[in-house]
A and B are shown apart, each in its own frame.
Chain A
Amino acid sequence: MLDTIFFYLFALLVVGGGILTITRSSAVHSAICLIGSLVGVAGLYLLLHAEFLFAVQIVLYIGGIMVLFLFVIMLVNLDEAARERQFNGQWWLALACVVVVGLQIAWFMRKGAGAFKLAPAAAAAASAAKGNTEAIADALFSEYLLPFEIASVLLLVAVVGSVVMAKKRI
Chain B
Amino acid sequence: MHPITTVHYLVLSVALLLIGTIGVLTRRNIVIVLMSIELILNAVNINLIAFSHHLQNINGQIFAIFVITDAVAEAAVGLGILIALFRNKETVLADQIDLLRW
- Residue positions of A touching B, CB distance < 8 A: 1, 3-4, 7, 11, 14-15, 18-19, 21-22, 27, 30-31, 34, 37-38, 41, 44-45, 47-50, 52-53, 56-57, 60-61, 64-65, 68-69, 72-73, 75-78, 81, 84-88, 90-91, 93-94, 97-98, 101-102, 105, 109, 113, 116, 119-122, 124, 127, 132, 135-136, 139-140, 144, 147, 151, 154-155, 157-159, 161-166, 168, 170
Let me know if B29 and A78 touch, CB within 8 A: yes
Query: A1 contacts which chain B residues (CB < 8 A)?
Result: 1
Given A19-B19, A22-B19, CB of A30 within 8 Å of CB of B64: no
CB pair A78 B4 closer than 8 Å: no
- Give the interface centre of B1, B9, B11, B65 by most chain A CB atoms within 10 Å: B65
User: Measured between C-beta atoms, what is the minimum distance from A37 to chain B in Å?
Assistant: 7
The smallest beta-carbon distance between B8 and chain A, in angstroms, is 7
B residues near A124, Cβ cutoff 8 Å: 53, 56
B54 CB to nearest A CB, Å: 5
Contacting B49 at CB < 8 Å: which of A48, A64, A77, A170? A48
CB atoms of B6 and A116 under 8 A apart: yes
Is the Cβ of B19 less than 8 Å from the Cβ of A72? no
B-side residues, CB < 8 A to A, are 1-12, 14-23, 25-29, 31-32, 34-36, 38-39, 42, 45-46, 49-50, 52-54, 56, 58-59, 61-62, 64-66, 68-77, 79-84, 86-87, 91-95
A52, B61: Cβ atoms closer than 8 Å = yes
Q: Does B76 contact A3, Cβ atoms closer than 8 Å?
A: no
User: Given B3, B49, B93, which contacts A45 in the complex, CB threshold below 8 Å?
Assistant: B49
**Cβ of A56 and Cβ of B3 under 8 Å apart?**
no
Chain A residues with CB under 8 Å of B95's CB are 88
A84 lies within 8 A of B28 (CB)? yes
Contact at A87–B39, with CB atoms within 8 Å?
no
**Pair A120/B5 contact, Cβ less than 8 Å:** yes
Known: A30-B32, A76-B82, A166-B84. A18 touches B76 (CB 8 A): no
Cα distance, A124 to B61, chains bound together (Å):
15
